[in-house]
Amino acid sequence: MSLRLYSHPLSSFCQKVLVALYENDTPFEPHLVDFADETSSAQLKRMWPVGRIPVLRDEAKDRTIPESSIIIEYLAQHYPGGTQFVPADPDLARQTRLRDRFYDLCVNVPMQKVVTDRLRPTGQHDPYGVEQAKTQLRTAFAMIDQEMGTKTWAMGDDFSMADCAAAPALFYASMVLPFGDEHRRAAAYLARLKERPSFARALREAAPYLSQVPK
Ligand SMILES: N[C@@H](CCC(=O)N[C@@H](CS)C(=O)NCC(=O)O)C(=O)O
């Protein structure tokens, strides 16, 4: 098998890539990264010194590809399938990338800030930063709610890279800061994402680990 994904089923950015892989039934071998294990972390850092997951290794082409959006673009280019993650039209492609950035930077990253602050040792918390992150999330939820009033997926009728980004980001963000009562259209979008077979599969695989998410 040519593709190996260094990842963890609980990681939101890894789930984003898993959705893309499952969308097109792309064969790959998952390699579980355990940050608590020095050998596992060191192996990851040898490939990508930044030490973040996901990282895709393509043995056939001798390439190592980090960063979830770049991995999805790589899959779209070299292992295309029925779901086209970035439209061919340059304007639509730019809009897709903008929404992908939005879900990564305005939903996933602030969600991570809230969750990882709970893992910090006593006395090392960052309440100001967490409040800022929650404010960013509230702004993002209102924008998503407005935008999803007339659309099925982030770009309209077609599932794209932006939906791969949105699915785990919104799933975990809804755990951190429930938005369903106030933002029903955003909640309906999340419900559609959870029913999408690719994300439903990623969620099933994450289920045994979900109790590790700090409350
Ligand atoms: N921009 C990166 C973000 C990746 C990321 O934040 N991954 C998290 C897991 S969801 C991670 O590896 N965290 C470990 C760390 O920061 O040490 C991407 O899109 O792939």
Q: Which two tokens stand for residue 68?
A: 């979830």
Task: Please give all residues whose beta carbon lies within 6 A of any atom in ligand 1, as ranges.
Answer: 11-13, 51-54, 67-68, 104
What is the whole-number distance in angstroms between the Cα of residue 122 and the centre of ligand 1? 23
**pLDDT in the model for residue 148:** 97
Average pLDDT over residues 21-44: 97
- Is the pLDDT confidence value at 153 over 90? yes
What is the whole-number distance in angstroms between the Cα of residue 13 and the centre of ligand 1? 6
Read off the pLDDT band of 214 (50, 70, 90): confident
> Residue 36, Cβ neighbours under 10 Å: how many?
6
**pLDDT in the model for residue 175:** 96
Indicate the length of the chain as a whole number: 215
- Is the pLDDT confidence value at 168 over 90? yes
Average pLDDT over residues 77-100: 98
Site to probe by mutation for ligand 1, drawn from 6, 13, 113 as the one with most ligand atoms within 8 Å of Cβ, is 13
Element (H, E) at 181: none
**pLDDT in the model for residue 87:** 97
**pLDDT in the model for residue 33:** 98
What is the whole-number distance in angstroms between the Cα of residue 5 and the centre of ligand 1? 14
**Residues ≥6 apart with Cβ < 8 Å to 51:** 41, 44, 45
- Is the pLDDT confidence value at 1 over 90? no
**pLDDT in the model for residue 76:** 98
Give the number of the atom of ligand 1 that is nearest the alpha carbon of residue 13.
Answer: 10
Site to probe by mutation for ligand 1, drawn from 53, 65, 209 as the one with most ligand atoms within 8 Å of Cβ, is 53
What is the whole-number distance in angstroms between the Cα of residue 7 and the centre of ligand 1? 10
Share of the chain above pLDDT 90, in %: 98
What is the whole-number distance in angstroms between the Cα of residue 52 and the centre of ligand 1? 4
Average pLDDT over residues 76-84: 97
Full DSSP string of 22-87 = HHTT---EEEE--TTSHHHHHHHHHH-TT--S-EEEETTTTEEEESHHHHHHHHHHHS--SS-SS-
Average pLDDT, the chain: 97
Report how far residue 131's alpha carbon sits from residue 159's, in angstroms, rounded to the nearest whole number. Answer: 32
- Is the pLDDT confidence value at 55 over 80? yes
**pLDDT in the model for residue 101:** 98
Average pLDDT over residues 156-182: 97
Average pLDDT over residues 12-23: 98
Task: Give per-residue pLDDT as tens, 89-145.
Answer: 999 999 999 999 999 999 999 999 999 999 999 999 999 999 999 999 999 999 999
**pLDDT in the model for residue 215:** 83
